[in-house]
Amino acid sequence: MANFRKNHTKSSKAESSGLITKVGMFAVLMGIIFWGFQKFMGGDANQQQGEALKADVENLEETSKDSIFYLPTNPTGAIVQHKYYALSYVEKYELPEWCAYELTADRLNKKWVQRTNDFRPDPKVETGSATLDDYRRSRYDRGHIVPAADMAFSEEAMSETFFMSNISPQESGFNKGVWRELEELTRDWAKRFKHLYVVTGPVLSQPIKFWIGESQVAVAPSYYKVLLDLSEPELKAIGFIIPNQTSTEPLSGYAVSVDEVEALTGIDFFQNLMEPNLEKKLEANFDVKLWPTNEKKFQRRVQEWNFQ
């Protein structure tokens, strides 16, 4: 693991230095560093600093070929790090309380690989993850937390999404309806904004709806998704909390602040990503108008997807 430190001479630079604080997702680290570089640096002296920073980043790339993650804090589960995402697995529920990853336009614009459907236990879960048998003869879908389509840029990345540690029991109308719509819109936003940091998972702080399989996998009452746009001149964030059931409501009605998701789940999403004042501002505020939805997708969900 590597740590970066930057010395800034101006007050705005000093304020931004807290943005990179601890070991985290390598690509997110690169994006935030260069976002800060573009926003705060200028002039010949700073250009030299920028060149030195660029060299440091290249050196880190050479010494860290695997993905490194900035993780949410306050985990109650065991941290599992795969190459393209990380998760916190809670044995009591046989579910992840969160999965964290980056979503970029560059990856989404690559030719998609064929869906693998190679569901299998996660060998990195020391206590043993849920199994495919747990879902047989249940009425619940094997719902992805990290969507397979988000990782369709490579066979390896796609295959990682079929570890059972990334799967959860979802109502069919939810999985194929409102959750699908949110997943598709998240990819649309990533293409538009270029670089998103995504944390998503089931809400395990509410009463569990049901338990399935020999492993006793929990059926969560609702799911959340937290999005942080890393590429805008002004960073922005938004959260969603959606019941695990068929919905005919617009997605905008499920939008909340990141603070509200944190209060519900007990998870701190951005503490390892930025200095406290910026974190507080981003988590307290959201504007649904900055995250445009798609009326055609909504109508397809209500008229078609909910009944598949």
pLDDT tens track for 7-38: 222 233 333 333 333 333 444 444 443 444 34
Please give the Cα distance from 150 to 161 (Å, whole number). 9
Q: Does one domain contain both 58 and 187?
A: no
| 239 within 8 A of 284, measured Cβ to Cβ | no
In a domain, 32, yes or no: yes
In a domain, 8, yes or no: no
Q: Does one domain contain both 226 and 295?
A: yes
Whether 144 is a known active-site residue: answer: yes
Look up the CATH number of the domain holding residue 283.
3.40.570.10
What is the predicted pLDDT for the residue at 121? Answer: 96
Decide which of 37, 63, 89 is a domain's last residue. Answer: 63
**How many other CB atoms are there within 10 angstroms of residue 110's CB atom?**
12
In a domain, 230, yes or no: yes
In a domain, 183, yes or no: yes
Please give the Cα distance from 32 to 185 (Å, whole number). 23
Q: What is the pLDDT of residues 254-285, one digit of tens each?
A: 999 999 999 999 999 998 888 889 899 999 99
Q: Does one domain contain both 106 and 234?
A: yes
Number of domains in the chain: 2
SS3 label, residue 306: helix
Single out the catalytic residue among 8, 82, 144, 195. 144
Specify the pTM. 0.80
Q: What is the pLDDT of residues 43-80, one digit of tens each?
A: 444 444 444 434 433 433 333 334 444 789 888 999 99
Decide which of 39, 63, 87 is a domain's last residue. Answer: 63
Q: Does one domain contain both 104 and 150?
A: yes
**Residue 48: domain span:** 17-63
User: For residue 84, what are the contacts with CB-CB under 8 A and spacing of at least 6?
Assistant: 67, 101, 151, 156, 157, 160
What is the predicted pLDDT for the residue at 7? Answer: 28
